[in-house]
Copies of this chain bind each other. A is one copy, B any other.
Amino acid sequence: MSGHSKDQGGDSFLSKRRFTRRQVLGLAGTFGAGAFFGGGSVLASESAGGQTVEFYGRHQAGIATPQQDRLHFAAFDLTASSAGEVRDLMREWTEAAAWMCAGESVGEENENAFIPPDDTGEAQDLTPGRLTVTFGFGPTLFESDGEDRFGLAARRPSALREIPDLPGDALDPDRSGGDICVQACADDPQVAFHAVRNLARIGRGRAVLRWSQLGFGRTSSTSDAQATPRNLMGFKDGTNNLRAEDEDLMKRYVWVEDPGWMRGGTYLVARRIRMLIEVWDRTVLGEQEQTIGRHRNSGAPLGKKDEFDDIDLEARGPDGLPLTPMDSHVRLARERLEDERILRRGYSFTDGIDPRTAQLDAGLFFICFQRDPQRQFVPLQRRLGQNDRLNEYIQHTSSAVFACPPGAGRGGYVGEGLFA
């Protein structure tokens, strides 16, 4: 990373770049494929159009962005010893993330045999894949074991508090928490992996990976343009999610006003929810549908035909019982206080075999964004954790919360308001 260390605290390394991946692709076209860097890149060039999401802006990308198909989420612990080091790290991470989201390599592309390449290279011929990289700060950045590690304790937003123990939690501390999170989303998993790997590499000596999670299928729609996907229970998930196009709702439920350094930011809650799919798969369809409160095939509320039909919580069946059971997931999630709405942006995962049961370790890596986790996610999940019939089939195995600062402007960096 010699290219980076030269730049620390000085000029951005943007100005020093001689060739970008995009420019190289252009050159290949101009001078004939294969004339300079070989022919393999041309495929990427042809399909790169419309594949990038702008990194810079008022909000960080990866929140209101229509959800990509794949996730690589990583939580880091800081080993840096001063706020200045963390600030430099955020500056370098911001620049690197911006380049990668633009479909470029990290740092300088060069042929210097005597230094390690700035970029690890595995995304070189791939499209940008709508990559977004979203950063968040955990409570432990501000205070850890009662210690004000970086002199930032006074700047901790009151909304950023550890998620309390919730009913039914079975958390693995080694897969929970973290000082800084990186949420890399892309339509190509190798592009998302590449982002996390290169940020980890840049962070060397200042941040170490604490845990990470791959997600292979989105489980929410965050845009009117997206069909509702199915989770690993086989049910449509996210029908009534907030839609990012609705700016009034986003303002009301997602984007933060204060403290000032968080204006335009939001809070991310991540929960790894293991599904006991072996048990679920043995369950009869009627019980599955009563548990969720929707029909499996159509996604319609019980007794209705279409996914987007209104849920009638008063309706009763021929037996006089509520058509949507009192402990069904949809009813409990629907009966939330109006204040509790959240923007869900989760992914399905599998992490191989659970050696204790020889079953697939799989489920939903739940991510949501909100203005205040203590008023939105926490009361919602407390009620679900106590009453939801779904609890027979799921287990929350990890938990984390992060303050995602607003987006950076060009030349700035994510978290600038905190460190300035």
Interface of A toward B, CB cutoff 8 Å: 34, 37-40, 43, 70, 72, 109, 111-117, 119-125, 174, 188-190, 193, 196-197, 200-201, 208-214, 216-217, 227-236, 277, 281-286, 288-289, 295-300, 305-307, 348, 350-353, 355, 358-360, 362
Contacts and interface: CB of A to CB of B under 8 A. Distances in A.
B210 A297 contact: no
Given A38-B305, A121-B234, A352-B211, A216 B229 contact: no
Contacts of A125: 227, 229-230
Contacts of A286: 113-114
A359 to B, nearest CB: 7
A281 B230 contact: no
A284 B113 contact: yes
Nearest to A296: B121
A412 to B, nearest CB: 28
A191 B352 CA distance: 16
Contacts of A43: 227
A352 B212 contact: yes
Contacts of A359: 209
* Copies held by the complex: 2
A352 B213 contact: yes
B190 A116 contact: no
Contacts of A109: 297
A73 B121 CA distance: 26
A288 B122 CA distance: 14
A239 to B, nearest CB: 10
Contact of A217 (B189, B196, B353): B189
Judged by DSSP, the binding face of A is loop
B40 A299 contact: yes
A216 B193 contact: yes
Given A40-B227, A214-B350, A289 B124 contact: no
A40 B298 contact: yes
A353 B307 contact: no
Contact of A353 (B124, B211, B352): B211
A122 B232 CA distance: 5
A318 to B, nearest CB: 14
B281 A120 contact: yes
Contacts of A299: 38, 40
Nearest to A189: B216
A360 B209 contact: yes
A313 to B, nearest CB: 21
A227 B44 CA distance: 10
Given A214-B350, A353-B210, A124 B234 contact: yes
Contacts of A113: 284-286, 289
A70 to B, nearest CB: 8
Contacts of A117: 234, 285, 288, 296
Contacts of A289: 113
A326 to B, nearest CB: 19
A40 B119 CA distance: 41
Which of A200, A351, A355 has the largest count of B CB atoms less than 10 A from its CB?
A: A200
A174 B355 contact: yes
B284 A115 contact: yes
A367 B293 CA distance: 43
A284 B39 CA distance: 24
A72 B359 CA distance: 15
Contact of A277 (B70, B197, B212): B197
Contact of A360 (B38, B200, B228): B200
A300 B35 CA distance: 12
Contacts of A121: 230, 233-235, 296
